């Protein structure tokens, strides 16, 4: 016979309503009582009926998590951390992939709003205007995008970009390219602004190339333009673009880092396994996933009564094998790139 809420109440020595609050609103229950009830429930094998609890509390205890491209290695650590954080708080996470398509993104949000208590938007491609309209349906938290009135988690990519440009300048590079990401990407815009400022600071000429697809194909497609540009260093939108660029440069007879130094963003697993190992900007994706869940649950509980929170997480540069000093043979200021 299935264990009921009355069985847990009887074994815990508390009223049924206390058991109910322990699972539906634990912050309203004394910590000692809450821990006793949870321990008894665990020992008896009791699992609350989520459908019944939703009818009582108006909460589904589900969250939506929408990402731009689940195949991109940037997102899995964030998804895994968000799911673990939500589980600790007795929530489940529905994950959806927009495939970089803003139309599909809007459809997924509208569908999930009926089934969840809140939605995490990670690197959304929708316009701020559309996001602001959709937020009336359910609380949102946005990762790597600033939207007025919404709680936000930002990974400070500008901090890492400044370090990357300074690194290249310190190696003697005087002409550097920035391979941007897709149009409408907040991260790409932040990188451009930070790279422009850093180039002026370090005396580097900056060339912008893009927009580009945020994957290996984007890097491959940009290789010809990079090879013919005379730049000796390249900062890429993400690790996938960087790895594609390295392959495209190799096909054109250019060595990395011998002829061109390449820097990525994310510090994904492929960056550490590729040869040469990729110099890259670390992005604290797991920390962002955990923080986003906490902010979303705070928004769910507070409604519109609190000022939206802003969390900014640090990034940093990890130097590996894909960057090197400019060869100043015969007094040349930079290597001659072969197209």
Quick: pLDDT tens for 189-206: 999 999 999 999 999 999
CA distance 160 to 177: 16
* pLDDT score recorded for residue 332: 33
CATH number belonging to the domain at 62-155+285-315, selected among 3.40.50.2300, 3.30.465.10, 3.30.300.30, 3.40.50.720: 3.40.50.2300
Model confidence band, residue 226 (pLDDT cutoffs 50, 70, 90) = very high
Model confidence band, residue 97 (pLDDT cutoffs 50, 70, 90) = very high
Q: Does this chain's domain 62-155+285-315 share its CATH topology with 157-282+318-331?
A: yes
Examine the pLDDT at 305 and tell me if it is beyond 80: no
Inter-residue contact 233 to 263 (CB < 8 Å) = yes
pTM: 0.79
Taking residues 318-322, report their average pLDDT. Answer: 97
Model confidence band, residue 187 (pLDDT cutoffs 50, 70, 90) = very high
* H or E segment and range at residue 6: helix 5-12
Task: Pick left, alpha or beta for residue 127 (phi over 0 → left; psi -120 to 50 → alpha; otherwise beta).
Answer: beta
* pLDDT score recorded for residue 163: 98
* Domain spans, the chain: 62-155+285-315, 157-282+318-331
Q: What is the dihedral of CA 41, 43, 47, 53, to 10 degrees?
A: 0
Lowest mean pLDDT among 4-13, 295-304, 309-318: 295-304
CA distance 17 to 29: 10
Q: Helix, strand or coil for residue 63?
A: strand
Inter-residue contact 244 to 220 (CB < 8 Å) = yes
* pLDDT score recorded for residue 189: 94
Give the CATH superfamily of 157-282+318-331.
Response regulator (3.40.50.2300)
17: tokens are 């309503």
CA distance 98 to 92: 20
Taking residues 109-116, report their average pLDDT. Answer: 88
CA distance 282 to 274: 16
First vs last C-alpha separation in the chain: 75
Examine the pLDDT at 308 and tell me if it is beyond 90: no
Residue written as token pair 């096909």 = 251
Taking residues 153-169, report their average pLDDT. Answer: 97
CA distance 138 to 127: 17
CA distance 79 to 275: 27
Model confidence band, residue 338 (pLDDT cutoffs 50, 70, 90) = very low
Examine the pLDDT at 53 and tell me if it is beyond 70: no
CA distance 192 to 140: 27
148: tokens are 């007025």
């Amino acid at each position: 016979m299935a264990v009921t809420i009355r069985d847990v109440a009887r074994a815990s020595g508390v009223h049924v309503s206390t058991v109910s609050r322990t699972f539906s609103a634990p912050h309203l229950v004394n910590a000692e009582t809450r821990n006793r009830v949870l321990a008894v429930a665990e020992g008896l094998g009791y699992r609350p009926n989520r459908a019944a609890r939703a009818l009582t509390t108006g909460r589904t205890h589900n969250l939506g998590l929408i990402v731009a491209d689940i195949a991109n290695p940037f997102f899995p650590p964030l998804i895994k951390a968000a799911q673990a954080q939500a589980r600790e708080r007795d929530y489940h996470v529905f994950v959806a992939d927009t495939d970089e398509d803003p139309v599909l993104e809007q459809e997924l949000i509208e569908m999930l709003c009926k089934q969840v208590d809140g939605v995490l938007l990670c690197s959304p491609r929708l316009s701020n205007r559309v996001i602001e309209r959709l937020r009336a349906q359910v609380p949102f938290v946005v990762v790597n995008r600033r939207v007025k009135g919404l709680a936000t988690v930002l990974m400070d990519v500008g901090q890492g970009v400044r370090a990357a440009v300074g690194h290249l300048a310190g190696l003697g590079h005087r002409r550097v390219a920035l391979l941007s990401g897709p149009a409408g990407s907040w991260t790409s815009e932040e990188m451009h602004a930070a790279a422009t400022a850093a180039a002026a600071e370090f005396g580097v000429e900056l060339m912008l190339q893009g927009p580009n697809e945020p994957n290996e194909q984007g890097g491959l497609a940009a290789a010809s333009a990079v090879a013919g540009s005379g730049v000796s260093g390249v900062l890429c939108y993400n690790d996938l673009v960087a790895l594609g660029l390295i392959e495209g440069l190799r096909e054109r007879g250019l060595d990395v880092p011998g002829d061109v130094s390449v820097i990525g963003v994310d510090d994904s697993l492929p960056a550490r396994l590729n040869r040469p190992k990729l110099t890259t900007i670390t992005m604290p994706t797991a920390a962002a996933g955990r923080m986003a869940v906490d902010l979303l649950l705070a928004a769910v509980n507070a409604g519109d009564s609190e000022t939206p929170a802003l969390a900014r997480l640090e990034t940093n540069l990890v130097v590996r094998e894909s960057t090197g000093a400019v060869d100043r043979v015969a007094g040349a200021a930079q290597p001659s790139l072969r197209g």
